[in-house]
Structure 1
Amino acid sequence: MTQSNVFDTEILTAIEQQLDHLLTRPAQPAAAGLERIYAAMRYSALAGGKRLRPYLTVLAADLFDVPRSQSIRAGSAIELIHCYSLIHDDLPAMDDSDLRRGRATSHIEFDDATAVLAGDALLTEAFAVLADAATHPVPEVRTILVSQLAMAAGPMGMVGGQMMDIMAETGMAAAEDIALIQSLKTGALIAVSCRFGAYLAQAGQPETDALQRFAADIGLAFQITDDLLDVSGSAAQTGKPTGQDAMNSKPTFVDLLGETGAREKAATLIEDAKQALAVFSPRQEPLARIADFILSRQS
């Protein structure tokens, strides 16, 4: 199963166009520094990628017939956060990677300081997008989107997971912490991507909870497949360096369960995720296909 026969190209094209629009620098004032920061933001954010997170937002919102003009903007804000995190992850002070999505990382293409600022700019721009009335006409909904993304991206979400991941490299985290690390570092943004669909629709708690259960399972399965690709994949295949986890002594589900056990764990998570979608039957099929894709992905 490949991305090309799972993902709707119309949605992906709309996401790309939205990101391009959001990252187009205003004509005034003219300044070399502004040109450079926008160039660095665009270099990383428009470098391709699966666009899984905004795609999940659109599919989740489609369950409730939310206008795609809203879900694509909201999902794009999450993608800006994701792209910022990749820039910072690749920095010498973090993973020290020189390859991302098949080309030089931001700090290699530009420099460390520009990469830091580009990440900072993408982070803050995400919240400007969510606060804009174009994302949703109801102020209370926009407030929920802002607060939930802040929680998912901050110290009790992605950033906290990254800190735990760094500590694990020095032996300060045990193997049993792996699930928590990944649920924060990777899973938090995936989970909020799905919940955004319910928030945009002002859906009830049962539907929101079902999307949360689905997202939590696919988020962990996504990280397990990432761990497996780091062991068995290649840089040409994944578009980034492989073997990094072993080199940095990071505990993973592959270490804990072995390759076979890790694959079985991921498969179980995907089945549980699809069961969580039963409340949306028969409209859940696009999300179920994404779950299957996560299990079989090669990059």
Structure 2
Amino acid sequence: MSLRPTLETRQAVPTMEGAGVKLHRAFGFQDPSELDPFLLFDDFRNERPEDYQAGFPWHPHRGIETITYVLSGSVEHTDSLGNTGTLGAGDVQWMTAGSGILHQEMPKGNGAGQMHGFQLWGNLPSDQKMTTPRYQDVQSKEIPGVTDDDGTTVRVIVGEFWGKTGPVDGIAADPQYLDIQVPAGVRKTFRIDTYRRAFAYVFQGQAAFADASQPTGVLLEKEVAGQEVNIRDLSGDRTLVRFGTGDEVTVQAGPEGVRFLLISGAPIDEPVAWHGPIVMNTRAELELAFKELRNGTFIRAAH
């Protein structure tokens, strides 16, 4: 077994998307090889309806998959193929844009006006860029969960983990998408296949992720449940942790426990030509996509 080194820890950055939705971006529109096959990750969390109600009106996608995971509130969606639906708390939508689709996503808060969810973009390999678009809307009750003896819980959204298999199927890049909660003071190790690129995104509580240079992951200033933890080195809310190569990730939960996403996938290792919501392999393919968008043939280009 080999511990994955922590290559980078950084905070998600406030930004604005759609018609004026305030959100935090952990990565995106940077070096696409950094977390290949993943291109972008947004945390849309707001307490004020005026910060999200304008939503994401009609816009195109081609060449990627978008993965939306809702924690609170709901998201209403409509697309150019006639699909409509609503994602509620705990639900997931995995949209394969493929050859091209136009859609809109309109967030709605819960009774207290709160809205929280995530959107991840996954790249498609060249031989699947122009596949037929499809949706997989998955209700919360369909997502398996498992609880370990120490109180650690895992929701398996995609992939296989601890004997459970997530409900989303037929996706490129062999992804694994886990929602993990580790109780206060618990130190836990999670296996990830070596061939995958991996990152964690902390969105509740705090934790220290062990590095290869400090394999215990145990730090020095405060004792939590019998273990010493240095509060200065804990990753907290809206923190991205990018891992190097290995087959294990070890996390030491902080004084209030921690909840984070652990996401990994097989790199595609292909050229990327990217502008806005369209991702192709070459500049010529990208230019053709926007030409079709302008002349009205964009959603008829599947083959």
Fold equivalence (TM over 0.5): no
Structure with the higher fraction of residues in helix conformation: 1
Choose 1 or 2 for highest CA Rg.
2
Instruction: Give the TM-score taking structure 1 as reference length.
Output: 0.29
Structure with the higher fraction of residues in strand conformation: 2
Instruction: Give the TM-score taking structure 2 as reference length.
Output: 0.28
